[in-house]
Chain A
Amino acid sequence: MRDTAETVLALLPTDVQYGDIRVVRRTHEQVLVELDGPGEVGYDDSLGLGLRVLIGGQWGFAATHRLDPRGLDAVIAQAVGQARATGGGGHVNLGEPVTTRATWSSPMRIDPFEVPLSTKLDLLSATVKEASTAGPLVQQIEASIDLYRDEKVFANTEGALIEQTLTESGGGLMVNAGNGDDLQRRSFPQGVPRQIRGQRGDFATAGWEHVESLGLVENAARVASEAVALLTAPQCPDEITTLIAGGNQLAMVLHECAGHPMEADRALGTEASLAGGTYATPERRGNFRWGSPIVSAYADATIPGGLGSFGYDDEGVPAQRTQLVKDGIFLGYMSGRESSAALGDQPTGASRADGWQRLPLVRMTNICLEPGESSLEEMIAGTKRGILVDTNRGFSIDDQRMSFRFTTELGWEIRDGKLGRLLKNCSYQSVTPEFWAGLDALGGPDEWKLHGVPSCNKGEPLQVAHVGHGTVPGRFQNVQVGR
């Protein structure tokens, strides 16, 4: 892979102002067990390269799976041809050169690809068996493990050469219950859309030890029982009330309300065609009240185990921490080299590509809330009337990341400081700064937990990023909840 990268850079024509290449091998192993037995075992292996060149101030990018001499010649011709076709006359500022030469591997204790298949099948089969004890209304159970490894070589014409290996492990459980009139789903440890395989459960940039820590077997019966109980649970009422969101649920709210809007390319308008723009425009930095004074948020790609952690991004910039919101005020962006230069900033190391075949885009890393001073128990005790919600079921947010609606797998009513009945079809909607302005309590450091979400979509062609979210439970006042 390293030889391929160096060969391609050496073959670039002299009018290339800047070029970079990524040679990436991605390995994926999936094991799935369903209610009626082992489902599927899958092994994916993808190797290729992506080449980006700048000629006359215009970009060209080409990617290929063919790493033979003809394939390399062709990919150079395509990238160069594209850049030249624009006719020059452009100006791209990449800021300071990146000349790092380094090797980095993500930490892990147990290599998940070395764990026998029988161990994986046993774990998932035991999980399904426990879940099936919830009774005949359980219609569907799926327990899965997904393991990823990216071996990446990045090199550029400025002299950088970086080799990285990232290993990610995750697993999850999904249970569907039905009684003819209604269907209800419960997921564990966190919710993702049912239909998306390979992206279910909680993930970390770690080894098999993360899968073992999830407690799939231990929680399976409870989760399945909740799915059954939801069938006959009362509907979430329509009202404006106090909402307490569990950390699991708040992870996705943070993702949509702070993560995407504070990606610099959205602020610069380059994502308008698909994802849209953002309320977090450059002139609002430092003066836009994003939320209540008790909320601060940051992006940090250096957190050990975070699914958005790495050594260097896909432009060779070191992983780092970036403050996004401080004391409720919007402060900064995640950015790549070009977008940071356009904003007059230093790059924050947030430029990442989905595999070898896609262009690096500004992608969120690990978006985290700074913990507060309360606790979930205290928040509930201090609430006369409200709702506690957890585990995301679905969401929608507008193209400026303002108006949103989230729905959760389950909720509980809160009456006079105590949890009451289980509620189904809980949903809430608001507008980003109004919602976060209503935040009056956050869980403390003991409740801070990192969630790994392997299903962040962005770009054209579509790219899927693996990201992390560090959150605590939070309490929000005056939120519209209901169906």
Chain B
Amino acid sequence: MSIERTDIEQALEILGPGSRLDVLGENADLLRYAESEITAQHSERRLRVRVKVNRDGRIAGGTLETLDPEAVRILADRLNAALAELPTSDSTHGASDQPVGDGEQVPVEPAKSIVDCDPAVRHEWFSTVRDGLDPAARLGGAIRYDVLDRVVADSTGLFRSETLTKASIQAIAKQDGQSASVKLVHRDADLIPVGDIPGRLREALRPLPVREKFHGSCRVLLKPSAVNTLIATFGLWALGAQHYASGRSVLTGRLGEQVVSENLTLVDDATDAAGLLSGFDAEGNVRRRTPLIERGVLTGLVSDRRRAGLTGGIPTGHAVPDGWRFGGDPVPSHLLLDAGDATEDELLAECGSGLVVNRLDYLRVLHPKQTLVTGTTRDATYWAEDGKVVAWHPQLRFTFRMDEVLNAVRAVGAVREIGDQTFMDSVVAPSLLIEAGPLVLT
């Protein structure tokens, strides 16, 4: 842990009553490659100190890159001056003084494979993947190691800390005008099967004819990476308590109702080692296992202190950091979609004639309330006939309602993969076979 408790306590003393610190010690190491050559290496050491002061509903905040008392004092003076100019407010924006609730934070053990990593290991990973590909294939992507020291503390005595680790490798291989990709994520680098990646990419790039674009509706087999993007985007827009309460969610008013296919069970759980782990959120609330959808029925939402009323009065541990670029409302952070019992071959057989999508890219919301999105397929989009992959399908654009697609899930795969998103810590998802209808190929 790179953050000293005494420095935190000293800063809180300077900032005074109503203050909260959310401190991140970020250590990121990255290796990037393109056209089978290393193109960049990046090492970043950063201390990010987020300060929030809430006095009588008046809120001021700021960030620093240091806990040096003089710097904190200068910020405190600015915040005090700003607070003096703000009117007292009974508005609900910003955190309330509600208690964070009972419960012990789940301890998270940082992985030594990442904390103690030498840059040479990332070079070995790169060489393993590049050298395992067909010589004609060109490799691009990135390997990233993150060690994140976190502290959330406030002037009432709250103090929580943890160290999180994460390793990821993205490998995109191009050959003969086609591309395939694999992204693996884990909190322990030793548990990422890097040696399997070349084989997966070779298999994905196997020679196949290229068919013309199919037009119309067909069954679509979404592989785990594509489902990861779909579920994360749906969760971001539909499963937060603030979105629900304000009517911005398509699910507003539907707690207890069937909202998606009964084949789907979804939970947010930062304590489940199947995904990435974390013990508390940006307000210091303990992260809790939160069932969201049980066999298609909406059973829960994620909340922070402000919206704890919708989750039994106790925040579920999904407050986002102040100034977070994706907004200030609580959103899922660690989604896990239950696996089914179908093997990948069985899903393909049931797909029959249809599309196989490995990756959904640039999926963007057109209308939040309708969960209307648009995006493209990317890397290894295939056409299947009679349960066999028979051709490459050209990249295509989908525009669809996420709730309709999730209501048309015909079968769920047995194997899940961990992924991440820029707006979500981790998503664990299997393949989904979507019935013909909501996904139309134009």
Q: Give the residue of A38, A90, A464 whose beta carbon is less than 8 angstroms from that of B87.
A: A38
The residue on A at minimum CB distance from B423 is A195
A114: chain B residues within 8 A (beta carbon): none
Annotate B2-42 by CB proximity to A: 1 below 8 A, 0 otherwise: 00000000000000000000000000101010110111111
Q: How far is the CA of A38 from the CA of B78 in the complex (A)?
A: 17
Interface flag for B63 (CB, 8 Å): yes
Q: Which residues of B are found within 8 Å of A121, using beta-carbon distances?
A: 85-86
Q: Is B309 an interface residue (CB 8 A)?
A: no
Residue B142 CB within 8 A of the other chain: yes
Stretch of A3-11, A41-49, A96-104, A310-318 on the interface side: A41-49
A85, A405, A460: the one within 8 Å of B374 (CB): A405
Given contacts A394-B366, A403-B396, 17 further A-B contacts (CB under 8 A): A40-B59, A42-B60, A45-B62, A45-B65, A46-B63, A47-B65, A59-B39, A65-B66, A66-B45, A82-B41, A117-B85, A196-B327, A198-B325, A393-B366, A394-B365, A429-B399, A461-B28
**Contact (A178, B376) CB under 8 Å given A197-B327, A357-B44, A395-B364:** no
Q: Does B170 sit at the interface, judged by CB under 8 A?
A: yes
Q: Which residue of A lies closest to B377 (CB)?
A: A398
Give per-residue flags for B269-288: 1 if the beta carbon is below 8 A from chain A beta carbons, else 0: 00000000000000000000
Contacts of A63 in B (CB 8 A): 42-46
Q: Are A399 and B170 within 8 A (Cβ)?
A: no
Q: Which residue of A lies closest to B62 (CB)?
A: A43
Q: Report, nearest first, the 10 A-B pairs whose CB atoms are least far apart.
A: A195-B327, A272-B140, A36-B91, A43-B62, A62-B43, A82-B41, A65-B65, A85-B119, A41-B82, A270-B34
Q: Is residue B343 contacting chain A, with contact meaning CB distance below 8 A?
A: no
Known contacts A44-B62, A46-B65, A65-B66: A178-B247 contact under CB 8 Å: yes
Residues of A176-192 at the interface with B, using a CB-CB cut-off of 8 Å, are 178, 180, 182-183
Among A42, A82, A394, A425, contact of B364 (Cβ-Cβ < 8 Å) = A394
Q: Evaluate contact between A273 and B63: CB separation under 8 angstroms.
A: no
Is A359 among interface residues, defined by CB-CB distance under 8 A?
Answer: yes
Report yes or no: A65 in contact with B28, Cβ–Cβ below 8 A.
no
Contacting residue for A196 out of B42, B322, B326, CB 8 A: B326
A399 touches which of B47, B62, B366, B378 (Cβ 8 Å)? B378
B residues less than 8 Å from A286 (CB atoms):
none
Q: Does A160 interact with chain B (Cβ within 8 Å)?
A: no
Contact, CB under 8 Å: A270 / B86: no
A46 to B46, CA, bound (A): 10
B368 within 8 A of A: yes
Question: How many angstroms from the CA of A46 to the CA of B365 in the assembled complex?
Answer: 32
The residue that B38 contacts in the complex, of A58, A199, A272, with Cβ under 8 A, is A58
Taking the nearest CB of chain A, how far is it from the CB of B67, in angstroms?
Answer: 11
Residues of B within 8 A of A403 (CB): 376, 395-397
Distance between Cα atoms of A34 and B93 in the complex (Å)? 9
B387 at the interface (CB under 8 A from A): no
- Over the window 363-407 of chain B, the binary record of Cβ atoms lying under 8 Å from chain A Cβ atoms (1 yes, 0 no) is 111111100101110100000000000000001110100000000
Q: A392-411 toward B: CB 8 Å interface, digit per residue (1/0)?
A: 01111111000101010000
Quick one: which of A38, A65, A85 contacts B47, CB cutoff 8 A? A65
Bound form: Cα–Cα A270–B170 in Å = 14
Per-residue CB contact flags for chain B residues 146-177 toward chain A (1 = under 8 Å, else 0) read 00000000000000000000000010101000
What residues of chain A lie closer than 8 Å to B375, measured between beta carbons? Answer: 396
Q: Is the CB of B323 within 8 A of A197?
A: yes
Q: Is A211 on the interface with B (CB-CB < 8 A)?
A: no
A186→B405 CA distance, assembly (Å): 28
CA distance A173 to B386 in the complex (A): 54
* Chain B residues positioned under 8 Å from A74 (CB to CB): 45
Q: Is B200 an interface residue (CB 8 A)?
A: no
| Docked complex Cα distance between A395 and B47 (Å) | 34
Q: How far is the CA of A429 from the CA of B78 in the complex (A)?
A: 48
Residues of B at the A interface (CB closer than 8 Å) are 28, 30, 32, 34-35, 37-47, 58-66, 71, 75, 78-79, 81-82, 85-87, 89, 91-94, 118-120, 123, 138, 140-142, 144, 170, 172, 174, 246-248, 322-323, 325-329, 361-369, 372, 374-376, 378, 395-397, 399, 422
Name the CB-closest residue of A to B26. A357
The answer for the CA separation of A34 and B375 in the assembled complex, in Å, is 32
Cβ-neighbour of A398 out of B42, B81, B246, B361 (below 8 A):
B361
With A34-B93, A64-B45 known as contacts, the answer to whether A42 contacts B39 (CB < 8 A) is no
Measured between beta carbons, the chain B residues less than 8 angstroms from A443 are: none
A399 — which chain B residues lie within 8 A by C-beta? 361-362, 376, 378
Complex contact B32–A65 (CB within 8 A): no
CB distance from B342 to the nearest CB of A (A): 30
Chain A residues with CB under 8 Å of B62's CB are: 42-45
* A61-B40 in contact (CB<8A): yes
Q: Which residues of A contact B (CB under 8 A)?
A: 34, 36-48, 58-66, 74-75, 78-79, 81-83, 85-87, 90, 117-118, 121, 139-140, 178, 180, 182-183, 194-199, 268-274, 276, 357-359, 393-399, 403, 405, 407, 425, 427, 429, 460-462, 464, 483
Q: Which residues of B have CB within 8 Å of A272?
A: 34, 140-141, 172, 174
Chain B residues near A79 (CB-CB < 8 A): 43
Contact A39 B93 (CB under 8 A): yes
From A45, A61, A394, B63 is in contact (CB under 8 Å) with A45
Q: How far is the CA of A273 from the CA of B144 in the complex (A)?
A: 12
Residues of A within 8 A of B32 (CB): 270, 273, 460
- Cβ contact within 8 Å between B59 and A39: yes
**Smallest distance from the beta carbon of A122 to chain B beta carbons, Å?**
10
Say yes or no: A182 contacts B369, CB within 8 Å.
yes
Q: Is the CB of B91 within 8 A of A396?
A: no
Q: How far is the CB of B5 from chain A (nearest CB, A)?
A: 19
| Residues on B with beta carbons closer than 8 Å to the beta carbon of A182 | 369
A127–B30 alpha-carbon span in the complex (Å): 44
Would A273 and B325 count as touching, CB distance under 8 A? Answer: no
Minimum C-beta distance from B236 to chain A (A): 9
Please state if A269 and B140 are interface contacts (CB–CB under 8 Å): yes
Q: Is the CB of A462 within 8 A of B422?
A: yes
Q: Considering the complex, give the chain A residue whose CB is closest to the CB of B373.
A: A396
Q: Are the C-beta atoms of A398 and B378 separated by less than 8 Å? A: yes
Q: Residue on A with the closest CB to B395?
A: A398
How long is the Cα–Cα vector from A59 to B328 in the complex, in angstroms? 38
Residues of A within 8 A of B138 (CB): 269
A47-B65, A79-B43, A273-B141 known; A38 vs B363 contact (CB < 8 Å)? no
Known: A269-B35, A269-B140, A407-B366. A40 touches B40 (CB 8 A): no
Flag if A270 contacts B366 (CB, 8 Å): no
Partner of A429, one of B119, B361, B365, B397: B397
Can you spell out 24 A-B residue pairs with CB atoms less than 8 angstroms apart? A40-B93, A41-B86, A42-B62, A42-B322, A43-B78, A46-B65, A59-B41, A62-B42, A62-B44, A64-B46, A74-B45, A81-B119, A85-B123, A182-B369, A183-B248, A194-B327, A196-B326, A270-B35, A273-B32, A398-B397, A399-B361, A405-B366, A407-B366, A461-B30
| Complex contacts, A39 vs chain B, CB 8 Å | 59, 91, 93-94
CA distance A79 to B44 in the complex (A): 10
Complex Cα gap A38–B85 (Å): 10
Q: How far is B145's CA from A59's CA once the two chains are assembled, in angstroms?
A: 18
| A420 → chain B closest CB, angstroms | 22
B41: A residues at CB distance < 8 A: 58-61, 82-83, 85-86
Min distance, Cβ A340 to any Cβ of chain B, angstroms: 16
CB-CB under 8 A from B34, the residues of chain A are: 268-273
Q: Which residues of B contact A461 (CB under 8 A)?
A: 28, 30, 42, 44, 144
Least Cβ–Cβ distance between A327 and chain B, in angstroms: 29
CB distance from B263 to the nearest CB of A (A): 27
Query: Which B residue sits closest to A74, measured CB to CB?
Result: B45
B222 to chain A, nearest CB (A): 17
Q: How far is the CA of A405 from the CA of B365 in the complex (A)?
A: 11
Q: A78-B43, A182-B369 are in contact. Are A38 and B86 (CB under 8 A)?
A: yes
CB-nearest residue of chain B to A273: B141
Expressed in whole angstroms, the Cα–Cα distance for A44 and B50 within the complex equals 9
Pairwise interchain contact A85-B120, C-beta atoms closer than 8 A:
yes
In the complex formed, the residue of B with least CB distance to A140 is: B246
